[in-house]
Structure formats: structure tokens, C-alpha cells
């Protein structure tokens, strides 16, 4: 049977006009050429189902008898493939269940539909900078016992301090709890990872699902620290933000100019300036001398220059920076 003959016979089958001999011939041909005709069979099956659906509608409406069409096994393979594709589309494009389920039944929702950031002022004066397509719902009971908001997307928070009413941000299965601070919540592109980074103050971040011992999986974050929360594995990974900022206000340019200063004193200044932990693995490195101007550079470039001058290197382990090397020349 040629391709053209197969096409004609397939259309005839879809219309329900095939004889038993023609149906058997179509089944044998399809079984023999299954791999290369797989996509066609899916399309054929869709036509069959559509016809059956309309017949069922007409039957229920007019109570007229309808001819039953026997669907062979090889067609049901196409049915499964179609259903898998359709279900996969909705799973990928619908909002994550955990995000929707945690939203309150009543509250005020704000969604940023603009191409630029949108500022939202909460009832207590706290502010939220919503990124594009981000939305936030303010709980109806906001400020009574807690200040709870529910976030989808990326936003930067600047929270007014209030010890009597902790500020809670629900983002999927992750809760960020603060008294008064500034921080950012940023889902990654794949939506499986949520990043929380702190600019000022202290933030408690934990999963909504308690473990067997009723303890929550969580950490405390301080300025220039971040966590990556895996929404599927429910794991939290701590680290240092990509662009640390100065936590000591009003630092002068002269503070980052060094002339034959010991590495120990240089690293001590960086620890205070950025609020990060820096450990020197080999104590010999502390006595090495460093001369240079580190003004105008970010923290990582400053560390690069320091380590280069003393033949050392650094690596980040969690929220601590380790300086490694055998000693200066």
C-alpha cells in the first residue's frame, strides 16, 4: 500500500466508513510502519475522538442511536501521547500549587504589570519594590499579630521595625521572618530555586514544612548573606551575595589605601566593612605585607588583588571566605 492509499484509507477510517477488511489492512500497515507513522497516528486518533464526541453530544441531545466505533489498541497509543502532551502543557504553564495554596482567602493584591519596578507602601509604612510581573497580597489581618504578605515573583522589602508584630513573607513553601530590615526575594528562572538576600538587619528564613522532630529547616541571615531554597527538595544552601555592599556607613577613600600593611590588618578591615567572615588557613599569610589602593573595587576584586600579591587564593565555603596559600615570597 502506497502513502497516498494509506492516507485515503485513514481518512475513511476516521469517518467510520471502513469495512472490517479495510480496518484489518490499516492495522497491519500501521503496525509494520509504526515508528515512522507515529505522529500521523496521533493526528488520526484526534479526528476519531472528535467524531465520537460529537456523536455523544447528539445522542444525549436527540436520543438518536449512534454507531459504535471500535478503537484498536494501536490508536490508544496515540491517545496516551496526546493526553501526555496536553497535561504537560497545563502543568508547565499553570501557577505552582504551593504558591497558590498559601495565599489567603481575603486580602489586598497588587500586581506589577508595568515594565519598570513598582513601589507598594504597606499599612505600617514598610515598602515593597515589585519587579515586573511580580504580585503581592497583603493579609486582611495585617498588623494585628503578625504582618503577613504573600509574594509571587521578585521583590525588594524595606521593613519598618516592630517587635510586637513580626513581618512574614510567604513565597511558596518558604517563609522569611523579620522585625525590621531590608532584603530581596528572587525566584530563579526555572522557578525551582528561590533566593533570599539580606542588605541590612537579620532575617530568619525557613521552610513551611516541619521535619519529623517538629523543627523547621531554616537559617539566620545577616547583611551580604543569601540562601538558595530548592522548592522541590526543600533544601537550603547558604552563601554570600554576588555583589556585597559596605555595611559600615561613611567609609572614607583613605580607609582602603594600604602601604606595607599586614595582610591580617587588611583582611580585618574587609571583614568589618562587608560584615563577612574571612579565615586565613595558613597563619604565615597574616604577616605578609600588602601595598595598594583598593578604592572603587568590589569586595571580590579587592580579594583578588590581595591574594595575587601574596601568592594566595581564596574560596567561598557557605558564608565564610577562606584564604589559602603557602606564604608570601
The answer to whether residue 212 sits within a structural domain is yes
178 and 110 within one domain: yes
Which tens digit of pLDDT belongs to each residue from 200-259?
999 999 987 765 566 677 899 999 999 999 988 889 999 999 999 999 877 776 789 999
The answer to whether residue 245 sits within a structural domain is no
Assess whether pLDDT exceeds 80 at residue 170: yes
Q: Please report the pLDDT score of residue 297 as a whole number.
A: 93
306 and 224 within one domain: no
Ranking 96-110, 143-157, 170-184 by mean pLDDT, the lowest is 96-110
**Could you tell me the three cell numbers for 72?**
484498536
CB atoms within 10 A of CB 240: 21
142 and 15 within one domain: no
Share of the chain above pLDDT 70, in %: 67
Which of the given ranges, 74-83, 94-103, 233-242, has the highest pLDDT on average?
233-242
The answer to whether residue 246 sits within a structural domain is no
Residue where a domain stops, chosen among 76, 93, 110: 93
Assess whether pLDDT exceeds 50 at residue 293: yes
Q: Please report the pLDDT score of residue 312 as a whole number.
A: 95
110 and 231 within one domain: yes
CA distances from 143 to 149, 176, 304 (A): 11, 16, 46
Residue where a domain stops, chosen among 214, 240, 266: 240
Which tens digit of pLDDT belongs to each residue from 178-207?
988 999 999 987 778 999 999 999 999 998
* Overall average pLDDT of the 128-136 stretch: 95
Residue 279: CATH number of its domain: 3.55.50.30
The answer to whether residue 33 sits within a structural domain is yes
Tally of domains in the chain: 3
Residue 235: CATH number of its domain: 2.60.120.1440
170 and 111 within one domain: yes
Q: Please report the pLDDT score of residue 246 as a whole number.
A: 92
The answer to whether residue 248 sits within a structural domain is no
Q: Please report the pLDDT score of residue 327 as a whole number.
A: 80
Assess whether pLDDT exceeds 90 at residue 169: yes
* Residue numbers of the domain that contains 26: 3-93
Assess whether pLDDT exceeds 70 at residue 171: yes
Between 29 and 165, name the one with better pLDDT. Answer: 165
* Overall average pLDDT of the 138-164 stretch: 93
Residue where a domain stops, chosen among 42, 63, 93: 93
Assess whether pLDDT exceeds 80 at residue 260: yes
Residue found under cell 578604592: 295
Averaged confidence pLDDT in the chain: 79
Assess whether pLDDT exceeds 90 at residue 285: yes
The answer to whether residue 108 sits within a structural domain is yes
The answer to whether residue 38 sits within a structural domain is yes
20 and 118 within one domain: no
Q: Please report the pLDDT score of residue 83 as a whole number.
A: 45
Assess whether pLDDT exceeds 50 at residue 142: yes
213 and 131 within one domain: yes
Amino acid at each position: 500500500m502506497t502513502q497516498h492509499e494509506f492516507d485515503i484509507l485513514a481518512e475513511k477510517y476516521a469517518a467510520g466508513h471502513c469495512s472490517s477488511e479495510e480496518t484489518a489492512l490499516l492495522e497491519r500497515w500501521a503496525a509494520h510502519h509504526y515508528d515512522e507513522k507515529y505522529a500521523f497516528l496521533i493526528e488520526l486518533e484526534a479526528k476519531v475522538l472528535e467524531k465520537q464526541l460529537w456523536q455523544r453530544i447528539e445522542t444525549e441531545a436527540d436520543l438518536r442511536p449512534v454507531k459504535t466505533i471500535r478503537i484498536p489498541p494501536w490508536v490508544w497509543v496515540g491517545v496516551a501521547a496526546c493526553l501526555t502532551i496536553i497535561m504537560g502543557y497545563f502543568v508547565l504553564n499553570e501557577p505552582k500549587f504551593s504558591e497558590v495554596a498559601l495565599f489567603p482567602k481575603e486580602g489586598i493584591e497588587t500586581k506589577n504589570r508595568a515594565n519598570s519596578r513598582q513601589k507598594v507602601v504597606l499599612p505600617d509604612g514598610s515598602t515593597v519594590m515589585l519587579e515586573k510581573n511580580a504580585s503581592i497580597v497583603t493579609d486582611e489581618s495585617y498588623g494585628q499579630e503578625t504582618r503577613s504578605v504573600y509574594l509571587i515573583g521578585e521583590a525588594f522589602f524595606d521593613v519598618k521595625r516592630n517587635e510586637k508584630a513580626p513581618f512574614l513573607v510567604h513565597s511558596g513553601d518558604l517563609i522569611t521572618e523579620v522585625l525590621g530590615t531590608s532584603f530581596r526575594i528572587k525566584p530563579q528562572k526555572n522557578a525551582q530555586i528561590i533566593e533570599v538576600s539580606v542588605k541590612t538587619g537579620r532575617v530568619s528564613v525557613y521552610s513551611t514544612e516541619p521535619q519529623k522532630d517538629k523543627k523547621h529547616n531554616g537559617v539566620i541571615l545577616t547583611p551580604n548573606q543569601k540562601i538558595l531554597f530548592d522548592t522541590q527538595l526543600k533544601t537550603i544552601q547558604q552563601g554570600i551575595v554576588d555583589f556585597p555592599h559596605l555595611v559600615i556607613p561613611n567609609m572614607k577613600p583613605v580607609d582602603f589605601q594600604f602601604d606595607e600593611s599586614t595582610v591580617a590588618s587588611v583582611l580585618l578591615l574587609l571583614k568589618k566593612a562587608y560584615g563577612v567572615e574571612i579565615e586565613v588557613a595558613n597563619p604565615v599569610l597574616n604577616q605578609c605585607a600588602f601595598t595598594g589602593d583598593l578604592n572603587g573595587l568590589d569586595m571580590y576584586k579587592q580579594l583578588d588583588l590581595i591574594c595575587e600579591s601574596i601568592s594566595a587564593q581564596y574560596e567561598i565555603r557557605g558564608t565564610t571566605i577562606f584564604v589559602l596559600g603557602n606564604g608570601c615570597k
